[in-house]
Each structure stands twice: as C-alpha cells, then as structure tokens.
Structure 1
Amino acid sequence: MAFLQASVYSNVLEMEVSINFLLPQTTHKKIGTETTGKSEDVPVLYLLHGMGGNHSVWARRTSIERYAAKYQLAVVMPSTDLGFYTDTTYDMNYWTFVAEELPMIVHELFPQITHKREQTFAAGLSMGGYGAMKLGLKKPNDFAAIASLSGALSFDSVEGLLATRKAAYWEGIFGPIGEIKGSKNDPLVMLEELVKSSQPKPRFFLACGTEDFLYPANQYVAKKMQAVLPAVTFEEGPGEHNWVFWDQWIQRALEWMFDENRAKTE
C-alpha cells in the first residue's frame, strides 16, 4: 500500500485542507506483508474522524493500512475540523465539502479510483459515524454501504450535548440547540426522507461498545432503522469510546462491507 499525505485547496471551504490517502500498490517484500495493486476501478472507503481527530488519526491509532490491503481498497481520510460534517451556521460548508467536492477531488487526483456505487463506501467513528451515516442517508445513489462505529447519532438530549461542548458550539454548527432534534440534520429525519424516496437503500452497519456512553442512543437508532430498511446490521461488544474498540471494529466493518454473499442478499 502507498500512504500519501496531501494538502489540497477546497473551493467550497475556501481554504487549504489536509487529506491522507491509502492506495493499493504492488509490493514484493522479503520481510513483511506483500500487497497487490490495481490500476483501475479501485474500490474506495471514505473514512471519517471524530471530534478531536483529523486526517492523520486513523493511520496513527489503528492499523488501517494493513486492514485495507487485504481488500485492495483505497482509503480517503479528510480533515474536517469540528464541523460535524454539516454546512454550519457560521458559513463553513463541511457537508458540501465531504459529500460533493471531496469525491471530485479524489477522482481528479486518482483516476484509478472507482466511480461505481457498489464499490464506494463510507465509515467513521463518533462524529465521523454521524458523517458516514449522513452520507448514506442523504447520498444513497453514491454509496453502497455505510459503517458507523460508536456514532453520535441522536440529538434527543440537550443535556447530553452540553456535557460534550458548550451551547455556542452546537448552535454554531446546527442553529438553536433546542431545535436540532427534528431538523434536517437529525439522522432520524434523514432516515424518514430516505424511506419515503424511491432512491436505492444502502446497507448500514452500526457497532458500539456496551460500556460506551453512546450505547443506548446507538441501540435506539439501530432499532428505528431496522424497522424501515431492508439491510441494517447492529453489533455490539465489550468496549468504551476509545481506539481499542475502534481498531477492532473497523476490521469487522470491512469484513461486513466485502461480504459478497451478504451484499447480494440484502
């Protein structure tokens, strides 16, 4: 695998942004793991960071390079600050950047990366789990499968939000804090809109540790999704809101994404 660090200009954000890439490369090593490259139609995973992270954190805290090599998978890891993958009230359009501009940048820089929906995936942790879920719910024509690990998927509790950041932060992102629930940025509202539409329905994978403070919210959202969508998997296991859990479960998420038998039946 090749590991590339890039600084690119975002016309949407009107600033330089950092993105890390993993790309399949043919290697013949005397010591270590051999890998196989591809020159066209390379499957791609958009892998999103959580609050406090950036473009580097997945590569630093997990062995994502080894995990992706098994599937000859390109991985795109952008930095989106604390923007919660949303077009914010303070005029920083992180959602438009991730959902619209980033794929265009990826295909411009790396023509070998696939344009096929069935080989395009998104995943993320915590805030990034919300971002990945948002991509699946609002861009179902572009993504075949979505994985959310310990996702921040519920805005039901204002007290819970305030325990994480001050009201000014949340209102800078979404608007009045008491109106986030039930708004266009609420995953359950996005879910309802997807169900009513004639658009294709991606597969969804949700995982959360049983000791994670977001565990009840993940259970709740998973049940809501399973009631109305044909292919929603929820898995749990011992773990907290940390990299020990995410390093383990990104492996499981990739296994699930590339399970061809599951993909054909769901």
Structure 2
Amino acid sequence: MSLITLNFQSHALVAPATITVLLPPLFFDINDSRSYDEIYKPIKKLKTLFLFHGACADSSSWLHGSNIQRYAAEHNLAVVLPSVANSFYANLEHGSAYWTFISEELPRYVRSVLPLSDKREDNFVAGLSMGGYGALKLGLNKPDQFAAAISLSGVVDIVAAFKNPIHPIFSIEDYFGSFEKLEKSYNDLFTQIKILKNQDVSIPRLYLACGTEDFLYEMNIKFRDFLIDNSIDFTFEEGPGIHDWGFWDKYIQRGLDWLER
C-alpha cells in the first residue's frame, strides 16, 4: 500500500486538516519488462473506505492497532482516515464543524486530488467506538452516497452515552446544546432510521459487531433489536472481546469480507 499524509486548509474547520490515505499497490515484479508509461498509466477510479477513529485517538490509531493496510490491499480498497479529535463527528455547539467536514468537504477534497470513485456502489464507511457511531451516522444521513456502513463497538445510542459520559469533557451543552436538540436531530441514529423508513430511499447495508464483554455491548443489543423491529436489513456479529484492538482488528477484517458478499 502507498501511505500518504495530506495537509490542507479546511474551509469547514477554518483550520488546517490532516488526513491519511492508503492506496492499493500496483502489482509488478522486479523483472517486469513494461515501460514506466505502461506501469504507471492512469488507473481506474478506486473503491473507497472512509475509516473513522474512536475517542482519545486520531487516524494513526488504525495504522498502529490493526492490519488495515494488509486488509485494504487484499480488497483493493483505498482508505481515507481523517483525524477529528473527540468531536463525535458532529458540528459542535461550542466548537468546530466536524460533521460538515466529514460529510461534505472531505469526500470532495480527496476525490479532487486522488483517483477515487464518487459512485455510491464504490463508497463505504467504517469506524470503531466513537467512529462506529460516526460511520453509521454518515451512512444513514448520506444514503445516496454510501453503499454500506460498518460499526465496531459503536456508540450507537448517543443520547445514553451523553447521559452517562465516560469523561467530563463530553458535555451535552458543549457538543449538542441539549438533549432535546440531540434527540430530534440527525445526530441520533434512532431518529434517522425512523426518518429513512418514511422516505423512498435505499438504506445502506449495515454491519455491526461488538464484543460480549464490551461496556457498550448492551447498547449495541438495544440498537440491534431496534433495527429488527423496524425491518432494517443489517448484519450483527458478536463474540468474546472487550473494547480493544484484539476485537477490532479481527472484525474489521470480517467487515471488509462482508462488503464483498
């Protein structure tokens, strides 16, 4: 894989943004007799996975904690990894417009500078923990742009998460203003599912996985049951595991395999 770091001035964030991109390798050996023009000819636009990190992390966590470079190469996927601090992929009440960044600016920017497809069937989003929530939120709010969304140990009930935050920095007032505003907004996955059910749209395929010893397991079971009750097409997997890379590395591989079914 080619690993690229891109720094650019983000209009949405009103600040510089740094993203990491993985591009599939070009396959040739040392005895390849083709000319460089033939080896490096323009390639077909690539299928793309937007891959989101969890809280207290950044895009590099996926590179250090998992074998995502190998898995992406095996599936011939480009991978776009943004860094969004502890934003919960939201336009913060008191802070930066991270939702606008990841949902509007980022896809357009990367496609303007790299050979990435803009076709719905070629675009997927995945993440872990906070990033699992972000992946589902992006897929469900942009169903015309993403064919599938993958959540690993996702914070799938954002209201419950902010009623019992894991750290004082996660203040409902600073992030979403109030619980009333949050529960009625695009930020709540339960609300967004109900909205999509009443629209004539194709909902992205959903894949969820969570460890049975994960502190977010019950939350994920609640969301799983909600999807069943609303007749949403999804795949749910569980297995032994806590909230760590031992689980996420295994299940991102399973999630990428699932994309090709």
Q: TM-score, normalised by structure 2?
A: 0.90
> Which SS does the other structure have where 1:212 is aligned?
coil
Given the alignment, which residue of 173, 176, 179 partners 1:174?
176
- 1:181 deviates by 3.9
Q: How many residues align?
A: 252
- The corresponding residue for 1:39 is 43
Given the alignment, which residue of 198, 204, 207 partners 1:205?
207
Cα RMSD (Å) of the superposition?
A: 2.0
- The corresponding residue for 1:97 is 101
Equivalents in 2 of 1:124, 1:28: separation in Å? Answer: 32
Q: Which runs of 5+ in 1 are unaligned?
A: 31-35, 260-266
> Which SS does the other structure have where 2:171 is aligned?
helix
> Which SS does the other structure have where 1:241 is aligned?
coil
Equivalents in 1 of 2:170, 2:240: separation in Å? Answer: 34
Against the structure 1 CA distance between its residues 159 and 58, is the aligned structure 2 distance closer, same or farther, given a 3 Å change threshold?
closer
- The corresponding residue for 2:130 is 127
> Which SS does the other structure have where 1:75 is aligned?
strand
- The corresponding residue for 2:18 is 18
Equivalents in 1 of 2:118, 2:158: separation in Å? Answer: 33
Given the alignment, which residue of 194, 197, 206 partners 1:195?
197
- 1:52 deviates by 0.9
- 1:24 deviates by 1.3
Q: Answer yes or no: is the 8 Å Cα contact 1:195–1:229 preserved in 2.
A: no
Q: Which runs of 5+ in 2 are unaligned?
A: 31-38
> Which SS does the other structure have where 2:164 is aligned?
helix
Provide, for residues 72-99 of structure 1, a one-character-per-residue CA deviation record: whole Å limited to 9, x for no partner: 1000000011111011101411111000
What percent identity do the matched residue pairs reach? 39
Provide, for residues 142-174 of structure 1, a one-character-per-residue CA deviation record: whole Å limited to 9, x for no partner: 000000000001145367533x12276332111
Provide, for residues 188-240 of structure 1, a one-character-per-residue CA deviation record: whole Å limited to 9, x for no partner: 00111111111211100000000001001101101211332442111100000
Q: Answer yes or no: is the 8 Å Cα contact 1:155–1:186 preserved in 2.
A: yes
- 1:25 deviates by 2.1
Q: Answer yes or no: is the 8 Å Cα contact 1:19–1:77 preserved in 2.
A: yes
- 1:180 deviates by 3.5
Matches within 5 A, 1:1-266: 1-28=1-28, 39-110=43-114, 112-157=115-160, 161-162=164-165, 164-166=166-168, 169-177=171-179, 180-259=182-261
Q: TM-score, normalised by structure 1?
A: 0.89
> Which SS does the other structure have where 1:157 is aligned?
helix
Equivalents in 2 of 1:117, 1:251: separation in Å? Answer: 21
Against the structure 1 CA distance between its residues 215 and 160, is the aligned structure 2 distance closer, same or farther, given a 3 Å change threshold?
farther
Q: Answer yes or no: is the 8 Å Cα contact 1:125–1:148 preserved in 2.
A: yes
- The corresponding residue for 1:33 is none
Against the structure 1 CA distance between its residues 93 and 159, is the aligned structure 2 distance closer, same or farther, given a 3 Å change threshold?
closer
Equivalents in 1 of 2:226, 2:232: separation in Å? Answer: 12
Against the structure 1 CA distance between its residues 229 and 18, is the aligned structure 2 distance closer, same or farther, given a 3 Å change threshold?
farther
Equivalents in 2 of 1:170, 1:53: separation in Å? Answer: 20
Against the structure 1 CA distance between its residues 157 and 72, is the aligned structure 2 distance closer, same or farther, given a 3 Å change threshold?
closer
Deviates more, 1:101-110 or 1:18-27: 18-27
- 1:177 deviates by 4.5
